[in-house]
Structure 1
Amino acid sequence: MPDWIHSLMQALAMPELGLSTVFVVSFLSATLLPLGSEAVVFGLLKLNPDLFWPTMAVATAGNTLGGAVSWLMGYGAHTAVDKVRHGQPTNVRALQWLERFGPKACLLSWLPGVGDPLCAVAGWLKFPFWPCVLYMAIGKFARYITMTSALLWMFPGGLPI
């Protein structure tokens, strides 16, 4: 491995930089960008096992904030579309299903592939912001605990390269 890559990896693994890296990657992965944060979380914890709970908190905070941004984007998109369509309702079966659950549907924001758009749809449907953020945080925290614990259990010595 080239020296500069090794130096970068060591710098990013330092607790003071590692947690901020986890936050940024977790935030970006909760937007509609096709990223995943589990590898970064796992990598930091393999290098700094004593940072388990701070890492879970930082990853959850970043991922939840990213979900909140997606909610705001959905809300803004709906407001813009309403102006163009002059308030005509959108009748889509999936939207009706989500409306039945309300903000609790954001518990599913942890799901791969559909979780991030779900946050935007919650904004589109104008679900209350703070209850949505709370349910997003609960779902995302549960995912980080489950996924990270499973990875640490399955690969106690690290991932094979």
Structure 2
Amino acid sequence: MSEAVSLFSLFTSSFLSATLLPGSSEAVLVALLVAGSGPTWLLIFVATMGNSLGGLTNVILGRFFPLREKSRWHGKASAWLERFGPATLLLSWLPVVGDLLCLLAGLLRMSWGPVIFFLCLGKAIRYIVVAAATVQGIAWWH
């Protein structure tokens, strides 16, 4: 598989993983790292950009389509966002809860600058940890 196809696949998987659609960006990242499909920094960057843009899509949706139904998760996520502000988006990488945090950040009309910063930082840290563990595992195995 060419490097361009690998990067496009990673970006697509990362974007979809940040939405309510199914995706497995960590598995794709690990597979590409093991296959040596590109520089580690580039794979982390592409995964982070795809996942961050997917998360920002959820923020935009929250601004356009506010949640009407109150659920237990909605209440907890709203309380976290109101208490800790945009820094809560460091947890935007979490399955399901992260999607809801992004939607609620949009619903609460949080400022774009801090939202983008914390959302991207949280997602980047996750991919850095996954990549570091993978690279360490590869080095240990050899």
So what's the TM-score if we normalise by structure 1?
Answer: 0.75
Q: How far apart in 1 are the matches of 2:131 and 2:44?
A: 9
SS at match of 1:110: coil
- Mapping 1:41-56, distance limit 5 Å: 41-48=29-36, 50-56=38-44
Q: Deviations over 1:21-68 (max 9, x none)?
A: 111110111011132201111111111265100011111001000000
Q: Residue 41 of structure 1 aligns to which amino acid in structure 2?
A: L
SS at match of 1:33: coil
Q: How far apart in 2 are the matches of 1:50 and 1:36?
A: 19
Shift of 1:148: 2.1
Q: Which runs of 5+ in 2 are unaligned?
A: 69-73
The answer to whether the 8 Å contact 1:32/1:117 transfers is no
Paired position in structure 2 for 1:100 = 83
Paired position in structure 1 for 2:107 = 124
Q: How far apart in 1 are the matches of 2:40 and 2:112?
A: 29
Paired position in structure 2 for 1:75 = 63
Q: How far apart in 2 are the matches of 1:93 and 1:28?
A: 24
Query: Please, which moves more after superposition, 145-154 or 119-128?
Result: 145-154
The answer to whether the 8 Å contact 1:67/1:133 transfers is no
Instruction: Say yes or no: does 1:138 pair with 2:126.
Output: no
Shift of 1:134: 1.2
Paired position in structure 1 for 2:93 = 110
Q: Deviations over 1:128-148 (max 9, x none)?
A: 123211111100000001012
| Root-mean-square deviation over aligned CA pairs | 2.3
Larger radius of gyration, structure 1 or 2?
Answer: 1
Q: How far apart in 2 are the matches of 1:112 and 1:72?
A: 19
The answer to whether the 8 Å contact 1:71/1:119 transfers is yes
Q: Which runs of 5+ in 1 are unaligned?
A: 1-10, 82-90
Q: How far apart in 2 are the matches of 1:137 and 1:70?
A: 13
Paired position in structure 2 for 1:85 = none
